[in-house]
Structure 1
Amino acid sequence: MSMAVHPNIPTVTSDLEPMRGEKLVRPFTRFAQLSSSGGLVLLACTLAAMIWANSSEWESYTHIFHEMEVHLGVGEFMLQHQGHMSLGLFINDALMAVFFLLVGLEIKREIIVGELSDVKKAALPIVAAFGGMVAPALIFVSLNMGHDSIRGWGVPMATDIAFALGILALLGSRVPNSLKVFLTSLAIADDLGALLVIAFFYTEHLNVEALGYAAVIVGVLVLLNRFGFKSAAWFLVPGLFLWYFVFISGVHATIAGVLLAATIPVNPRVEVSRYSRYTRAALDVFDESDDPTQDIRTNATQRAAVMQINENGRLVLPLLHRLEHALEGPVSFLIIPIFALANAGLHITGGIGEALFNRVSLGVILGLVIGKPLGITLACWIAVKLNIGVLGKGVTWRQIIGVSCLGGIGFTMALFIATLGFKTHPDYLDHAKLGILTASAISAPAGLGILLTCPPASEEQADDPDEPRDG
């Protein structure tokens, strides 16, 4: 979480008796604050999709997500996708662009001010992500060489950050904080690699004119950033047009989210010291305007002071952080679960053995279950031996192996790449989905089991930030 609530910072309602409405939503609020909550919601929607797709109502699942058309337009202008747009395509092309915007914001934050900004700290997760992408791809290619199913080589390359971090969160303070930082950085670097794969290898027919318009909009967004515009509207409105031109260009529309994220300002409008000085001055005005005969509804000066304090908060927080914070909830609890519901529903016909033991399913399963941990662990070992990177404080090689197994939880990004690679081969797509679900079901308990066998982290290692050490 980029802007999680700090437990030591009091709020104005900390010591107040909660209202009835607050009592009703308190269980949901507490659940949403859990580190594993997003992964649990995602898992629930995945199970719901599988049950629905294999129930007596499976035809309704197919109709709603893959046959029912969605019409977007203004007046006579209608947005089309090769003749029509199903609800599933709308989810994958439009809603998922918001998810990729959030991913892009996280990547930019990590590169500029986060763990990936320090070359020594960034080296290990970047090398690990590279190894964790190459090994699964090679395994898939070796099983599908000479067949048209080889288009799915990118499917087992991806790690699902929500699931992986959710599983790690279940261990709480048993694992050192540096291991959590490593997995987060690894997953973000992995996402960046997956985005490059989507952009360069899963783009078919290009509309050069549309790409030109998209490039012009990106240029305008860069200028807005350079000229000091800090309001979200200046970027999100052009971002809608950017999405449209990328959508009709042949490049997958979700890449627009990443391009937009790259142009979002990361610097605040005012410095912290200035914010503190002027906010305290506004608080002084608020206190001096206190009138026992009035309350906030009738005291215009106090209302103005509060509004200025809110504006000061907006100016001291970079737009990147504000957008990231605003998108985390909707993406985790709405967009990704809807994506899972629309794409994880696999209608299994015939024998399960036939569906599992074919080149596509085996390529995905072996790629994620064996290729991911092998590639990540081997890449880490080589990086440490060559002094390219260092293990974090308190991190053991057994923990690296456990985390690398969690990297085999492909899910969201893997499903997304599968829908791109096999959009004209529904049988291959079903086999890839089954492989992703099976591999994730194996990788999660395998990684968790290995990490549970590791000695608990000391209190200092569990709480302190990552400090590197030699392997």
Structure 2
Amino acid sequence: MSHLTLIEQSPDPEESKRDGQRHSIADRLRSMGQVRAGAFLLLGATLAALAWANFAHGSYDGFWDTHLTLSVGDLQLDFTLHALVNDALMAIFFFSVGLEVRREFTIGELTTWSRAVVPVVAALAGLTLPALLFVLVSAGSGYEQAWGIVISTDTAFLVGALALIGPKAPGRLRVFLLALAVVDDIGALSIIAIVYTDNFNPAPLLIAAVGLTAVYFTRYLQSARGLVYGSLAVVVWLAFLASGVHPTLAGVAIALLVPVYRPERREVEHALELARTFRQSPSSEYARAAANSLRESISINERLQSSTAPYIAYVVLPLFALANAGVQLNAEILASAARSQVTWGIIVGLVVGKMVGVFGSTALMRLLRVGEFGPGLTLDRLAGGGALSGIGFTISLFIVALAIDDEAVQNEARVGVLIASIIAFLLGAVIFRISDRLHPSEEIGRTLLRPVDPTRDHIFGPVDAPFTLVEYGDFQCGFCLKATGSVEEVHRELGGRLRYVWRHAPLTRFHPNALAAAEAAEAAGRQGKFFEFERSLFSDQEHQLPSHIIRRAQELGLDIERFERDLRSPAVAARVRDDMLDAEAMDITAVPTFFVNGKRHTGPYDAQSLIRALEQSAQEPQPGSSA
């Protein structure tokens, strides 16, 4: 989701714009700070591992080779600390990957083919081409089978790098890269399971299958689900370990069975009622009921993602880097790496293969008009994203240990991963700096990036009218309410010569119900009642809870069962999110914001000012007013 922050735009647009910029900048800095923290900690652990391995190599190897033994009766598990990190802790990381995969394919960006085709094709090209280049460069080395090292992008470093060096308004690029990373992870996990599994024993997988079946049915328990999930996870992990399939994949298998759904609005409102009851009569019973109701209104998938994310970012991944990035970088090893086909295969695969694979495939799809790109996802930004996809740190290092037995060659491979990741980061930074120069900030948002489309947009008035007025607004915004009077007066004055378009820019920071109201209007629009629902929302801005929204739908004669189904649909949420990402791409920081015949309106938005602006621009090019 975009981190766009808006404010209500008063009749003094310059003052509200300054306030909006302050709020937007502060929120973006906070968001980027949270993302950067995990990436910087991962980078710090990598540097610490390098320093430890080079200044005290004996203690580094000795520490991670320390054995831990756990015995229960005749059952005995023996792990080195290195194996404990790679086999056990990384299962938690892969569990989070599985949760994200399940979410994206159920309620996220990958729910429909038109939205999924671009990141899916880009990810497949970004998996295939690096592997082919690695095999070509490493041919004759005896390690051609290690091509899995170059197939995956490090999502943590990718998101951190995008926050650190990315372009202005990177929302749509971030959504694209995260969707790509999900597909990329699926490919990497599949390859680990199929290609890098040794000593396969199918019998324990029968136990794993029983455990996974129990995981699926655990959702129906009324209580103690956490304890049951945890116990079954241990059983499934041990079964995978005994089977020879890498045990980290148990985390993925479990995550794919954890239910995910969009919050039921009635359940959310019930939770709010319990919270109000607790406020009026504080007691442990009401507190427990309110807490349970709030928790249950959010899917287990999303609760687990939010609860495990800090441990993965601040514990699991830094420990993995500390245990796996300790490469000696003396002259002899560097000279050996410089001559190594494996090292160069990794560098060429990650830097060239990922860049050409991701950028080339998306450029071709854009040329052929295949899939949805959306405003802001330009070729220069796709090139920068393709370059950053070459940061293949975590899973690349993970596969090094699986694909290569020789310790000297492992060192050469790790050197290749580190160098390739640095080059990919620097290349992405250069591309984004060039991109920002090509799109000066003063030019951003002057014209409507997404042309008005009668098949997509909500249009009031003739679709072929000579005048077009587009408004980005919020149904709980007081100034947007005042602007509706201006729009109605403009329509009375111009009649059939005006087409008016509403697009969503909910102020989620200030209006907690604004996003739900936008999605409800979209759901009503699917039954041909968008503007009727809009007027109903504006008529009573103080009452926009789920029960009020359902009541409005009933009053308008909507099919309530269909309306509620559409409210939960990913398509409705994606439609609103698209408008929000468009607003971010145009640097819209205050609402209402108007576009007059495709050009951004910067003056007052009373009726006469809007009419004058429409008439003055009638003879000018209208980049956003044609279908």
Bin of the TM-score, shorter chain as denominator length: 0.7 to 0.9
Query: Cα distance 1:372–1:195, how it changes in 2: closer, same or farther (>3 A)?
Result: same
Residue deviations 1:133-173 (CA, integer Å, cap 9, x gap) = 11110111012234431121110111011111111112467
- Aligned residue number for residue 465 of structure 1: 581
- Aligned residue number for residue 284 of structure 1: 277
What does 1:308-457 align with in structure 2 at a 5 Å threshold? 308-349=289-330, 350=332, 352-422=334-404, 424-454=405-435, 455=439
3-state secondary structure, aligned to 2:71: strand
Q: Which amino acid aligns with 2:194?
A: F
- Aligned residue number for residue 77 of structure 1: 75
- Aligned residue number for residue 549 of structure 2: none
Distance 1:464 1:98 in 2: 33
Greater fraction strand: 2
Question: Match for 2:103 among 86, 109, 113?
Answer: 109
The Cα of 1:348 is off from its aligned counterpart by 3.1
- Aligned residue number for residue 40 of structure 1: 40
- Aligned residue number for residue 453 of structure 2: none
Q: Report if the CA contact (8 A) 1:179-1:392 is conserved.
A: no
Distance 1:173 1:372 in 2: 19
Distance 1:329 1:7 in 2: 28
Q: Which amino acid aligns with 1:74?
A: V
Question: Match for 1:246 among 228, 234, 240?
Answer: 240
Structure with the bigger RCO (C-alpha within 8 Å, sep 6+) is 1
Q: Report if the CA contact (8 A) 2:141-2:342 is conserved.
A: no
Q: Which amino acid aligns with 2:413?
A: A
Between stretches 240-249 and 171-180, larger displacement belongs to: 171-180
Distance 1:246 1:132 in 2: 29
What does 1:153-232 align with in structure 2 at a 5 Å threshold? 153-171=147-165, 174-225=168-219, 231-232=225-226
Distance 2:31 2:43 in 1: 15
Give the alignment's TM-score, normalised by structure 2: 0.64
Distance 2:364 2:31 in 1: 40
Which 5+ residue runs of structure 2 have no aligned equivalent? 8-29, 450-577, 586-623
The Cα of 1:128 is off from its aligned counterpart by 0.5
Distance 2:378 2:148 in 1: 30
The Cα of 1:280 is off from its aligned counterpart by 1.6
Q: Report if the CA contact (8 A) 1:174-1:456 is conserved.
A: no
Percent of paired sites with the same residue: 34
Q: Which amino acid aligns with 2:114?
A: K
Give the alignment's TM-score, normalised by structure 1: 0.84
Structure (1 or 2) with the larger CA radius of gyration: 2
The Cα of 1:62 is off from its aligned counterpart by 0.6
Q: Report if the CA contact (8 A) 1:405-1:443 is conserved.
A: yes
Is it true that 1:273 corresponds to 2:273 in the alignment?
A: no
Between stretches 381-390 and 393-402, larger displacement belongs to: 381-390
Q: Report if the CA contact (8 A) 2:167-2:433 is conserved.
A: no
Between stretches 141-150 and 372-381, larger displacement belongs to: 141-150
3-state secondary structure, aligned to 2:110: helix
Q: Report if the CA contact (8 A) 2:167-2:432 is conserved.
A: no
Is it true that 1:263 corresponds to 2:257 in the alignment?
A: yes
Aligned residue-pair number: 428
Q: Report if the CA contact (8 A) 2:129-2:354 is conserved.
A: yes
The Cα of 1:386 is off from its aligned counterpart by 3.7
Query: Cα distance 1:305–1:113, how it changes in 2: closer, same or farther (>3 A)?
Result: same
Q: Which amino acid aligns with 1:70?
A: L
3-state secondary structure, aligned to 2:185: helix
Which 5+ residue runs of structure 1 have no aligned equivalent? 9-29, 290-300
Between stretches 136-145 and 402-411, larger displacement belongs to: 136-145
* Cα RMSD (Å): 2.9
